[in-house]
A and B are shown apart, each in its own frame.
Chain A
Amino acid sequence: MKRFSYLILILLVGVSCTGCFELIEELTLNSDGSGHIAITFNGSQSKGKLNSVMKLETVNGYKVPSKSDINQEFYQLKKDLNAMSGISNVKISLDSDNFIYTVEGDFQNIPALNKALNQVAKSSIEKRNMPYRFTPFDHYQMSGRKFVRTGPDRDRVPDYQKVKMDDRQIFESGEYRAIYRFEQPIQSVSNDRAVVSKNRKAMMFHASVKELIDSKIPMANTITLQ
């Protein structure tokens, strides 16, 4: 989900300035491999700053989009995702007053989800002519009773060093949370930072974006189901 979250950040880079944000990735996996995913960007903690930044023309060299521009981007994203094979029921929830944006939808299987996420990230980077290299990869893998959340590939790290200092501050001021829910109970999780819910059917991972970027905390996680 790193690429997708990256896309959300790119969409809001013009208004992110130096405030804090929360990025929540929720995935529910059915036993047949299909499921539901929801990505939420919550900039509510920084709404004062964001409202001020919205009055500017540019920030960090990027054109600041208006609230309607941002909404328009999400409508387009919804349209694009709905047109992708294996993705359906895409919905968006836009709270421009509090800067909370959610995109959610159903997927037929994990490969379809990976393909959709890669496509969205690629077109977003290309459309904005951003100086970041795009390499598609599998964000999630499912094999037997093992569900794998892939961590950031080491090749991306040099790219991150090229990101402007001002932009890095935007990414590093955020919090990332991933919640995965399953029909079967969880037997074990490989990531020390991940916690399993009391009903053992959900797992939550929480870290600051800075910790993830600095590789202080690994993002990769293998969840073994019973």
Chain B
Amino acid sequence: MPRATILYFASLGDLLQRERETCDLPETATSGDILACIATCHPDAASLLSTCRVAVACEFLTDRIRLRGGEEVAILPPVSGG
């Protein structure tokens, strides 16, 4: 399984008490697959994760992606800029 660096932000980072970790992800995955995979490791965050979006290499993930390993995968809670 490809190993990726997972980034956590804002409320999610606080809840998980970390800003990043490495995680094994499926070779092909949608954002839902990635969030489900992380929720398995962090069941307490499942509810918040269900509101999050996923970005890979700084692009919102809108489709299925093939992961090779070494990617930066950002888990983005609802934004509140401006």
Report whether chain A binds chain B: no
Hey, which bits of chain A sit against chain B, CB under 8 A?
Answer: none
